[in-house]
Amino acid sequence: MENPELSFTLVYTVFAVCLIFTPNEFRAAGLTVQNVFSAWLGNEDIGFIEHHLRRTSLTILIHSALPLGYYVGMCVAAPEKNLIYIYQVTTYHIYTALQSDCHVTVTESRQHQLSPDLTSPIEILTLRVESINPAVRPFNISLNSADYTDFRVKLRAPIRTSPNVVIHQTISELFLETFRAQVELNQRYKLPNGQEVEPCIGCMQVPASTKLVRLCQTAGMDNESECQPCFCRPMWCLFCLGRWFASRQDQQRLETWLSSKVPCPTCRAKFCILDVCMVH
Ligand SMILES: [Zn+2]
Ligand SMILES: [Zn+2]
Ligand SMILES: [Zn+2]
C-alpha cells in the first residue's frame, strides 16, 4: 500500500463503525459483543438483569478502548508517522501533542537502585510536554536517561533542562554523540534504485539509516585492516548501531573505543567507525 497510515485509518474506521452500529452482515457472521462473549455474559433467559448489566458494561469498555486500539495499530502500520506526535498513554487518558507545537522541559531527575546487582543506579527523567495549542493540556513523560540522547535527536522540538536538574548520562550515551559526529564525516551510501528503506530492526521507530561499506582499506588508512565486507542491506539506525558499537567496547579502556573494530550486528563481519555510511 502506498500510504499505510491512510489505509490503516480507513480499515479501522470501517471496523469501528461496524462494531458500534453492527450491520446485519456482522450479525449474521456472529460478530456481536453478545455473541463473542456469550460464555461470560451468561444465559439471558436464566439471569436477564445480570446478562444485560454485563453486556452494557462490556460494550462501554470495548467502545471506549477503540482509540487506544487505533493507536497501537497505527504504531505497527506506520511507525514513522507517529514520530510527528508525542504520546503518553495512561490507564484512562491518551495524551498527544504535535511535536512541532511543543516545548519539552526536563523538570526532574531521580536515581533508582532497582537491584543490588546493578553497579550503577537507573536514572529516570521527568519531561514536561507543553504545547502552544491551548486545546492540548500539558503532560509529563518519564524516560530512562540511557534513552535521553536518542530521544533528543529524534524529537523535532526544542528541549530545555530546568536549572536545578543534572542529567547523569552514561559514558556510552556520551560516546553516541562522538560516534554520530564521526559518521557524519564519512562518505554517504546511495541506496540502489527501487530499494526501499525499512524500519530499523533495533528500535522499529525510525528508518534504517546506515550501511556498512568497507572504506577504511580503500582509503589507505590501514593496510593491515581486519575489517571485512558486509553485504547486509541497511537495517539499523545510527543510534542503534552506535549503541551496539559502544556495547562491544572495553569499559575500562576508553581511549581504544574510536579505533576499535566490532562485528556487524547481523552478519558478524568486522567493521570500524570509518566503515559506517549514512544512507541517502
Ligand atoms: Zn534504531
Ligand atoms: Zn553485515
Ligand atoms: Zn574498517
Do 29 and 68 have their domain in common?
yes
Strands 270-271 and 276-278: unpaired
pLDDT at 263: 94
pLDDT at 210: 96
Over residues 195-248, the pLDDT tens digits come to: 889 999 988 888 999 999 998 865 555 455 589 999 999 999 998 999 899 888
Is residue 118 pLDDT above 60, yes or no?
no
- pTM, two decimal places: 0.53
Domain count, the chain: 3
C-alpha angle 146-186-278 in degrees, rounded to nearest 5 = 60
Is residue 57 pLDDT above 80, yes or no?
yes
Do 83 and 141 have their domain in common?
yes
Do 164 and 189 have their domain in common?
no
Do 187 and 162 have their domain in common?
no
17 or 75: which leads in pLDDT: 17
Domain boundary among 139, 169, 199: 169
Cα 247 to Cα 179: distance, rounded to the nearest angstrom: 13
Please compute the mean of the pLDDT values over residues 58-68 and round it to a whole number: 79
Domain boundary among 141, 169, 197: 169
Do 63 and 83 have their domain in common?
no
Do 68 and 129 have their domain in common?
no
CA of 280 relative to ligand 2 center, distance in Å? 18
Do 232 and 269 have their domain in common?
yes
Name the residues around ion ligand 3, CB cutoff 5 A: 216, 227, 272, 275
CA of 135 relative to ligand 1 center, distance in Å? 32
Domain boundary among 124, 153, 169: 169
Cα 179 to Cα 177: distance, rounded to the nearest angstrom: 5
Among residues of the chain, what percentage have pLDDT more than 90?
26
C-alpha angle 141-145-147 in degrees, rounded to nearest 5 = 85
Over residues 97-108, the pLDDT tens digits come to: 888 888 899 999
Q: Residue 192's domain spans which residues? A: 172-278
Question: For residue 262, which ligand has an atom nearest its CA?
Answer: 3
pLDDT at 115: 62
Do 186 and 258 have their domain in common?
yes
Cα 151 to Cα 121: distance, rounded to the nearest angstrom: 20
Name the residues around ion ligand 1, CB cutoff 5 A: 200, 202-203, 237, 240
pLDDT band at residue 149 using 50, 70 and 90 as cut-offs: confident
Name the residues around ion ligand 2, CB cutoff 5 A: 230, 232, 264, 266-267, 269
Is residue 13 pLDDT above 70, yes or no?
yes
Find the CATH number of the domain harbouring 106.
2.30.29
CA of 210 relative to ligand 1 center, distance in Å? 10
Do 183 and 238 have their domain in common?
yes
Over residues 172-183, the pLDDT tens digits come to: 777 888 899 999
